[in-house]
């Protein structure tokens, strides 16, 4: 997995698919998540586009696309039950899957050790 400074995680899959979610640290900082709005499948995104809206008891936040690509799947389970984001942010509560041209675009992001140093 790779990690962004915006506290997203990226897990490369087969066929140049990248699964994207938020880290446990981000979920903890947000507090209880009460609403998630995901992009439509088929949406083309560019890096840093706002693609997800997430609201918690503390704040509303936008999740940015970490890579260029096409949204190929979204996790409707977290729309139906946003608390899943707090329960399993780095597992079953992923946000979306994006097809990228080249997985090497993930090389610019932190590995787990670097991310742990980043959050201190």
Q: Assign 33 a pLDDT band (cuts: 50, 70, 90).
A: very high
pTM for this predicted structure: 0.95
Mean pLDDT, the chain, rounded, equals: 96
**What domains can be seen in the chain, in order of their start residue?**
27-101 (2.40.50.100)
Over residues 100-104, the mean pLDDT reads 94
Give 41-72 pLDDT, tens digit per residue. 999 999 999 999 999 998 899 999 999 999 99
Nearest to 16 by CA among 95, 72, 57: 72
Q: What is the DSSP string of the chain?
A: -EE-TTSEEEEE-GGGEEEEEE-HHHHHHH-SEEEEE-PPTT-EE-TT-EEEEEEESS-EEEEEPSS-EEEEEE-HHHHH-TTHHHH-TTTTT--EEEE-S-GGGGGGSB-HHHHHHHH-
| Cβ neighbourhood burial of 8 (10 Å; 0-12, 13-18, 19+) | buried
pLDDT for the residue numbered 78 = 98
């Amino acid at each position: 997995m790779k990690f962004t400074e915006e506290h997203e995680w990226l897990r490369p899959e087969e066929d140049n698919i990248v699964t994207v979610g938020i880290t446990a640290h981000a979920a903890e900082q947000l507090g209880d998540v009460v609403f998630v709005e995901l992009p439509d499948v088929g949406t083309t995104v560019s890096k840093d586009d706002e693609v997800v809206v997430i609201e918690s008891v503390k704040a509303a936040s936008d999740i940015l696309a970490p890579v260029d690509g096409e949204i190929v799947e979204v996790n409707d389970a977290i729309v139906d039950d946003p608390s899943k984001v707090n329960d399993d942010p780095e597992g079953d509560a992923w946000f979306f899957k994006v097809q990228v041209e080249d997985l090497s675009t993930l090389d610019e992001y932190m590995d787990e050790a670097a991310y742990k140093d980043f959050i201190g």
